[in-house]
Amino acid sequence: MSNPKAYAELTTLIKRAHALGTVGELLGWDEQVNLPPGAGEQRAQQQAALAEAAHAAASDARIGGALATLEADAAGLSDDQRVVAKHARKDYDRATKLPAEFVREKAAQDSRGYHAWAKARAADDFGGYAPVLAKNLELATREAGYLGWGGREYDYMVDKHDPGMTAAVIGRLFGELKRELVPLVREIAASKVKPRDDALRGFSTEGQRQFLREVTERLGFDYNRGRIDVSLHPFCSGTGSDVRMTTRLKEQEPLDSLFSSIHETGHGMYEQGLRADELGTPLGQNAGMAVHESQSRLWENQVARSRGFWRHFEPRLRELFPTQTAGVSTDELYLAINAVHPTLIRVDADEVTYNLHIILRFELEKKLFTGELAVADLPAAWRASAQELLGLTPPNDREGVLQDVHWSGGSFGYFPSYCLGNMLAAQLWYRALALRPALEEDFARGDFTWLLGWLRENIHTQGRRYDALELARRVTGEELSPKSLLRYLRERYGALYLR
C-alpha cells in the first residue's frame, strides 16, 4: 500500500514548481512578441526573480521528503505513480545537486556567452569566441560531475534533452543515415530538375496570415487554447490550454512563414494534447526534444509537403493569391514546396540536406567532449566536415562554426534531437499509413482528424512514460532507425528529382 499523503504532497509541490516555470515561459514569449524596446533591463530583473522562485520551488526539501517516503515503499506504487516518482526524482536531483555558486557562475556565463557569440559572428572572429566555448565546455563537464555522470559528460548533455539516449546510440544511427544520405543529396543536387526560385513572390502578409490560420486550424490546432503571433524567430512555448506560437511573415517567401507555422503547430498540438488532469506532473509533460521534433516534423514534412495535403489547400491558396499564382502550374508549385538546395546554413536547409547539418554538429561536439578535438581546431574541422558531408566549404566562419547560437549558452547535446525527431517522424508516418492506407485521401478532403487522434492516443497522452527509443518500439513495432527516413526521402524526392 503506497502512501497517499506523500504522493499528494509530491504532486502538489511539483505542479507548483511547474506552474512557476510556465510563467517564466510566458515572460519569455512576451519579451519576443510585445516588449517595449526600453523594458529589457526591467524584464531581465523580473526573469531573474522568477527563476529564483522557480528554483526554490523545484528544490523544496518537502519534495525530497515525499520522494523518500514513496521510494521506501516502491512496490506499493501504481504504474502511473511509479512514472511520476521516477521523473520527479530526476528533476529534483537536477535542481538540488548543483552548488549555488556553480548555478550563479553558469547563469553569468550564459549571458556573457550569448553576447560574445553575437559579436564574434558579426566580426567573423572565432578567436574572440574560443575562450567562451572552452569555458562552456568546462562548466558542462563540472555539471555532469555534480550529477554523477563523471566520465560520461556528453551522454549527460544528450540525456538532458532526450532521456535515455546516448552518444553511442546516436553515433550508430547517424552513421547508418550518413552512408545513404550523402550520395542521395549529391544525386538530387546534380538533377536537371530545378525548382523555380522566382515562382512565389509578392504575397501580402495579410493574405498569408489568413491562409496559415486556416491551415493550422484545419490541422487541429485549438485556437481556444492557444494563439499565434509574430516574432523575429518562430518558436512555440506554453503547454496545456495556453500554447503560444509565433511566425514571421515575408512577402517574397510565403512558404517560409507557412511551413514554419505548420512546424510550430506540430509542437503546439503536442502540448495541447498532453493530459489536462496531469498538467505539471511527468504524466502531463512532453517526452523530450526528439519526440517533440517528431511531432513538428511529421506535420511540417510528411503531411504538409504531400500531394494529398495540396489537393485540398491549393485551390484556397489560388483563391487568396490569384495574380501571384497565375503563372505557376500545380507541378511547379509542388516542386517549389519540395525544393532541395544544399546550403551552408542549417536554418535555411531543406528537408533532405538538413540531417547532414545535424550529423556534422554531433560529430564535432562529441569530439570536443572526448578531447579528440581542441576548441582551437574547431573551425578547420568544421570546414573539412562541411566539404565531406555537404560538398560545400564555408568561405568564412560566419557561414561555418559561428552560425548557431546553441553552444554559446552551453546547449551541447541539443542538435541530435532534430535528426532523431526526423527519424521518428518518418517511422510514425509509415506506421500510420499501414494502419490507414487512405491517409492522403483524408488530407485531400481536408480531414486530419484520424492522424491527430492516433498521435494523441499513442504519443501525447503518454507524457514522459516512455523515452524516444521505447516509444518508437511500442508505437511502430520497430527499433528507432534511419530506415524509414531514407525510404521516405527516396520516395518523395526521388519521384521529383530522379525520374
> Which residues would be at the binding site for Zn ion (CB under 5 A)?
296
Q: Which is nearer to Zn ion, 11 or 296 (CB)?
A: 296
> Could you give the residue ranges of the DSSP H alpha helices within 350-435?
354-370, 378-390, 416-435
Identify the bridge partners of residue 242 per DSSP, sorted by sequence position: 239
Q: Which is nearer to Zn ion, 296 or 462 (CB)?
A: 296
Q: Which is nearer to Zn ion, 81 or 296 (CB)?
A: 296
Residue pair 211/240 in contact (Cβ under 8 Å)? The answer is no
- Shortest separation between residue 362's beta carbon and Zn ion, angstroms: 17
Measured CA to CA, the distance from residue 3 to residue 68 in angstroms comes to 11
Q: Which is nearer to Zn ion, 290 or 475 (CB)?
A: 290
Of 194, 174, 208, nearest in space to 358 by CA = 174
> Could you give the residue ranges of the DSSP H alpha helices within 396-481?
416-435, 439-444, 449-458, 468-476
Q: Which is nearer to Zn ion, 263 or 312 (CB)?
A: 263
Q: Which is nearer to Zn ion, 59 or 296 (CB)?
A: 296
25 is catalytic: no
Measured CA to CA, the distance from residue 357 to residue 350 in angstroms comes to 10
Instruction: Give the HSE-up count for residue 233: Cα atoms under 13 Å, Cβ half-sphere.
Output: 7
Residue nearest to Zn ion (CB): 296
- Shortest separation between residue 34's beta carbon and Zn ion, angstroms: 22
Measured CA to CA, the distance from residue 419 to residue 389 in angstroms comes to 15
Measured CA to CA, the distance from residue 486 to residue 419 in angstroms comes to 12
Q: Which is nearer to Zn ion, 85 or 291 (CB)?
A: 291
Q: Which of 264, 278, 293, 365 is catalytic?
A: 264
- Shortest separation between residue 266's beta carbon and Zn ion, angstroms: 8
Q: Which residues contact 452 (CB under 8 A, 6 or more apart)?
A: 219, 220, 269, 273
- Of all helices (H) and strands (E), which one includes residue 238? strand 236-239
9: its cell numbers: 504532497
Q: Which residues contact 15 (CB under 8 A, 6 or more apart)?
A: 279, 280, 281
For residue 462, the 8-state DSSP code is: G
Measured CA to CA, the distance from residue 259 to residue 49 in angstroms comes to 36
- Shortest separation between residue 342's beta carbon and Zn ion, angstroms: 21
- Shortest separation between residue 272's beta carbon and Zn ion, angstroms: 15
- Shortest separation between residue 297's beta carbon and Zn ion, angstroms: 7
220: its cell numbers: 487541429
* N residues, the chain: 499
Distance set, CA 289 to CA 87, 127, 341, 419 (Å)? 16, 31, 26, 10
- Shortest separation between residue 263's beta carbon and Zn ion, angstroms: 6
Active-site positions read 264
